[in-house]
Structure 1
Amino acid sequence: MTVLAIDDVRKTFNNGEVAEDILKGVHLALNAGEVTALVGASGSGKSTLLTIAAGLQQASNGEVIFDGHNMTDMSAEQIRQIRASQFGFIFQFAHLVPFLTVEEQLLLMLDVAETTLSKKAQLQEVDRILVLVGMSHRKQAYPASLSGGEKQRVAIARAIIHRPKVLFADEPTASLDSQRSKEVMQLIHDMTKELQIATLLVTHDEEMLIYADRIIKMTDGLIN
């Protein structure tokens, strides 16, 4: 089932008197339970496409349809609410809050997502997710005491704690060694399947593509 569709999306930046076309009419569908990997050279438009799909910037033309609704017609507040409650994000660095424990990081995400769960149910959900990502034994740890791989596991837990429909992963293994990269990508793959999330992965690491269900190549603002 298609959760998010990108229809003829174009993005033009004005560089002084010169207009530069970054995206030139991109079509892409993200499906539930599927990891879609977006690959291509630097400057091909991958990150621009991801940020437009995630509602972090607007397209110059075209539509982004989420769950049957056109985000192009939504207000900034409506898009913010979708990002907070329906989207999850994983980046190259975990960006954990240094003064919060692992448990508190996840509770904060539930608060941002404006969960309707009771406090007891929130704590139970945190425990459940930490078991899934193999971090239950580090629930009371602070980021400074975590390894790079552990931080990314917490970042994944934080990204899925509110059960998003779409997960955006932008170079999630770029700061990790080979073994930790494989562990993190296996986890992203498994969570995508188990929770039926539509995952969009941007990566330069070809070894990580074995964890993708589909591989989409971008060249000069177009999908090949």
Structure 2
Amino acid sequence: MSLFSINQIRKTFTNGEVEEEILKGITLTLKEGEIIALVGASGSGKSTLLTIAAGLQSVTDGQIIFEGKNMSAMNQEEIRKIRASQFGFVFQFSHLVPFLTVEEQLQLMLDVSEYQLKKDEQKKEVNRMLELVGMNHRKNAYPSSLSGGEKQRVAIARALIHQPKVLFADEPTASLDSKRSKEVILLIRQLTKDLNITTLMVTHDKEMLAFADTIVKMSDGVIVHKKESIK
């Protein structure tokens, strides 16, 4: 089932008197339970596409359709509510709050999200998510005592604790060694399938592509190749 439709998206930046078109009519469909990997050289437009799909940047032209609604026509408050309730984010670095424990990182996300639960239900949900990412045994630990891979596991749990429908992952393994990179992408793939979410991921890591359902290669603001997995 189609969750997201990116229709003829164009994005232009103005630098002084010069206009530069970063995205040149991108069209892409994202399905539930699917990992889509965006690849391409630096400057190809893949990160711009991800941030536009996530409602973090506006479009110059075109439409972002999420669950049948045109996000491109929404105001900032309407977009913020969708991000807070339906989207999760994981970046190259975990960006964990240094003075909060693992458990408290997830608790904070529940407190600020649109996902309303009673306190006892919140605790159960935090424990459930930490179990899913294999970090329940470190729930009282602070970020300074965690490895890079453990921090990313917590970041993934935090991104999914409010039960979003889309996970946006921008270079989620770029700061990890090959062993921990594989562990993280395997975890993302498992959660994408088990929770039936959609994951849109930007990556330079070629090993991660084996775990994507669809690979979209970009160059100079256009899609030059799209490959769907036969798995």
Task: Determine if the TM-score, normalized by the shorter chain, exceeds 0.5.
Answer: yes
- Taking the aligned partners of 2:126 and 2:204, their CA distance within structure 1 comes to 31
- Taking the aligned partners of 2:89 and 2:165, their CA distance within structure 1 comes to 11
Deviates more, 1:54-63 or 1:109-118: 109-118
- Taking the aligned partners of 1:8 and 1:112, their CA distance within structure 2 comes to 33
- Taking the aligned partners of 2:195 and 2:68, their CA distance within structure 1 comes to 20
Cα deviation, 1:134-162, whole Å, max 9, x if unaligned, reads 00000111111111000000000001111
Aligned-residue offset at 1:112: 1.8
- Structure number with the bigger relative contact order (C-alpha 8 A, sep ≥ 6) is 1
Question: What pairs with 1:61-210 in structure 2 (closer than 5 Å)?
Answer: 61-210=61-210
Aligned residue type for 2:10: R
Aligned-residue offset at 1:15: 1.3
Aligned structure 1 segments of 4 or more residues deviating by more than 3 angstroms: none
- Taking the aligned partners of 1:110 and 1:85, their CA distance within structure 2 comes to 10
Aligned-residue offset at 1:26: 0.2
5+ unaligned residues in a row in structure 2: which ranges? 225-231
Aligned residues: 224
- Taking the aligned partners of 1:174 and 1:186, their CA distance within structure 2 comes to 15
Matched, 1:27 2:27: yes
- Taking the aligned partners of 1:78 and 1:122, their CA distance within structure 2 comes to 25
- Taking the aligned partners of 1:44 and 1:34, their CA distance within structure 2 comes to 23
Cα deviation, 1:37-80, whole Å, max 9, x if unaligned, reads 00001100000000000000101000001111100111101111
Q: What's the RMSD between the two structures over aligned residues? A: 0.7
Cα deviation, 1:10-43, whole Å, max 9, x if unaligned, reads 0001111111110000001111100000000110
Q: Structure 1 vs Structure 2: percent identity of aligned residues?
A: 70
Aligned-residue offset at 1:165: 0.5
Residue 167 of structure 1 aligns to a residue whose secondary structure is strand
Matched, 1:223 2:223: yes
- Taking the aligned partners of 1:19 and 1:139, their CA distance within structure 2 comes to 49
- Taking the aligned partners of 2:191 and 2:125, their CA distance within structure 1 comes to 15
Aligned-residue offset at 1:114: 2.5
Residue 103 of structure 1 aligns to a residue whose secondary structure is helix
Partner of 2:15: 15
